[in-house]
Amino acid sequence: MKVPQAQPVMTEKMIEAAATALRTERLTLGDSVFKFEEAFAKMCGVDHAIALGSGTAALQLGLQAAGVKSGDKVLTSAMSFVATSNSFVAFGAKPVFCDVDAVDFNLDPAKIRLDKETKAIIPVHLYGHPAKMDEINEIAQKHDAVVVEDACQAHGARYKGRRAGSLGLMGCFSFYPTKNMHVGGDGGMITTNDPKIAEITKKLRHCGRKGQYEHDIIGYTARLNTANAAVGIEQLKLLDQWNDKRREIAKKYDQMLKGVGDLRLPLQPSNDFEPVYHQYSLLTKRRNELKAHLESKGIGVGVHYEIPIHLQPIYREMYGFKDGMLPITERLCKEVLTMPMFVDIKDEQIKYVVENIKGFYG
Ligand SMILES: Cc1ncc(COP(=O)(O)O)c(C=O)c1O
């Protein structure tokens, strides 16, 4: 049996929606883009959504729209995809990495230290589990910093009943194909209740245009293509049911893997934290052995992430970051292993994964 780690859904209806958009709409900023934005804002419970070419673009343009500039500091987690901080390093802002909580793998509010130069905090809702937003917002408010959620793995997740993307000044999403929903290629979204952020990011994505031939800020070409938005509209309709499915799959893993070997299973959902299991990640001291064993049985597993951002070669080179700076993040990166997780996974495939994990531990 073969079990992939992830498997994006692409139905005939989604392909047809893209084809119709290609035949009948403007290819960029066509009607589907605005319809997708409206539906996505509604899902998140915010006033505005701005569709972009990627999650990285959403973070970069969002931070710039919030006034973060070259030389400013931005505090975030190194237990994330490198794009979280690339988004602002790209325009000269400086990364301040804060260690995570060993229980939820998200920014640990008790370890956040801000100074006058720190203009923004980016909590990452890792694997679709919301960060402790009340504490983070409170700290940010005291220091006059903005909070930009990296919700790239958290489409539809809820914190205290509110959706990811509505919990800070803005939320940033990615629609990369393996995410809980995608757009049939790269894509991203900013969600916000702030009309100013909406106005500026719309300009930034569209070459800094004031009018058709007039440009009053330095902008980018960072729009979401119309055909991709058309796919996104169809995907979004299924998001809640897909997230329910992911939670069911997680529950099955939880039940079958409880007490096996030295495994530590993901944090359970609670009233305040409703995760969407973008990933189902285990911890084990024998990570590399277990990974090799499962791969030899045709099971796709992942490591999210093998190298924490601060220890990526370019970050070491640019900032002199060293091993030992973030002890919890660094330990998690050595122990974490991501199981197959996708909506169409079959019970036999889940059982096959579990049997092979049990076989590994004898
Ligand atoms: C946590 C996180 N931040 C940022 C990104 C960047 O998104 P994109 O790949 O769409 O640029 C991703 C996904 O790839 C991500 O998982």
Residue 201's pLDDT is: 98
Distance CA 311, CA 314 (A): 8
Contact assessment for residue 342 and residue 7, using Cβ atoms and an 8 Å cutoff: yes
User: Which 3-state string (H, E, C) describes 295-333?
Assistant: HHCCECCECCCCCCHHHCHHHHHHHCCCCCCCHHHHHHH
342 C-beta closer than 6 A to ligand 1: no
- Residue 127: asked if its preceding bond is cis (omega within 30°), the reply is no
List 162's β-bridge partners, or say none. 159
The pLDDT assigned to 266 comes to: 97
pLDDT at 130: 98
For the residues 20-26, what does the mean pLDDT come to?
Answer: 98
Ligand 1 pocket member 56 (CB < 6 A): yes
Q: Is the CB of 153 under 6 A from ligand 1?
A: yes
Cα(359) to centroid(ligand 1), Å: 34
Helix (H, G, I), strand (E, B) or coil at 255: helix
Contact 223, 51 (CB under 8 A): yes
| Distance in Å, CA 187 to ligand 1 centroid | 10
The CATH T-level fold of domain 12-99+106-234 is: Aspartate Aminotransferase; domain 2 (3.40.640)
User: What is residue 169's three-state secondary structure?
Assistant: coil
Q: Which fold has domain 240-361?
A: Aspartate Aminotransferase, domain 1 (3.90.1150)
pLDDT digit string, tens, across residues 80-110: 999 999 999 999 999 999 999 999 999 999 9
C-alpha dist (Å) from residue 118 to 78, 110, 141, 256, 332 = 16, 17, 12, 44, 26
- Locate the ligand 1 atom nearest the alpha carbon of residue 59 and give its number: 4
Tokens of 174: 């990615």
> DSSP readout, 49-91?
EEEES-HHHHHHHHHHHTT--TT-EEEEESSS-THHHHHHHTT
Average pLDDT over residues 44-54: 98
% of residues, the chain, pLDDT over 90: 100
pLDDT digits (tens, 9 = 90+) for 248-266: 999 999 999 999 999 999 9
Regarding the beta carbon of 99 and ligand 1, being less than 6 Å apart is answered: no
* Average confidence (pLDDT) over 183-206: 98
pLDDT confidence of residue 232: 99
260 vs 110, 253, 295, 359, CA distance in Å?
A: 32, 11, 19, 10
Task: Express each pLDDT in 140-188 by its tens digit.
Answer: 999 999 999 999 999 999 999 999 999 999 999 999 999 999 999 999 9
Tokens 């915010």 label which residue?
46
Q: Domain map of the chain by residue range?
A: 12-99+106-234, 240-361
- Provide the CA 311 distance to its chain's centre, in angstroms: 20
Q: Is 143 helix (H, G, I), strand (E, B) or coil?
A: coil
Tell whether ligand 1 has an atom less than 6 A from the beta carbon of residue 188.
yes
pLDDT interval class at 45 (50, 70, 90): very high
Mean pLDDT of 287-291: 98
Q: Ligand 1 mean position to 173 CA, how many Å?
A: 8
Tell me, what's the pLDDT at 67? 98
Ligand 1 pocket mutation pick from 52, 106, 152, 183 by most atoms within 8 angstroms of CB = 152
Interval between CA 212 and ligand 1 midpoint (Å): 31
Give the pLDDT score at 255: 98
Residue 204's Cβ-side half-sphere holds a number of Cα atoms within 13 Å equal to: 22
Question: What does pTM read for this prediction?
Answer: 0.98
Residue type, 325: M
Taking the C-alpha atoms of residue 224 and residue 222, their distance in angstroms, rounded to an integer, is 7
Region 203-220: mean pLDDT is 96
pLDDT digits (tens, 9 = 90+) for 292-302: 999 999 999 99
Q: Are 12-99+106-234 and 240-361 the same fold in CATH? A: no
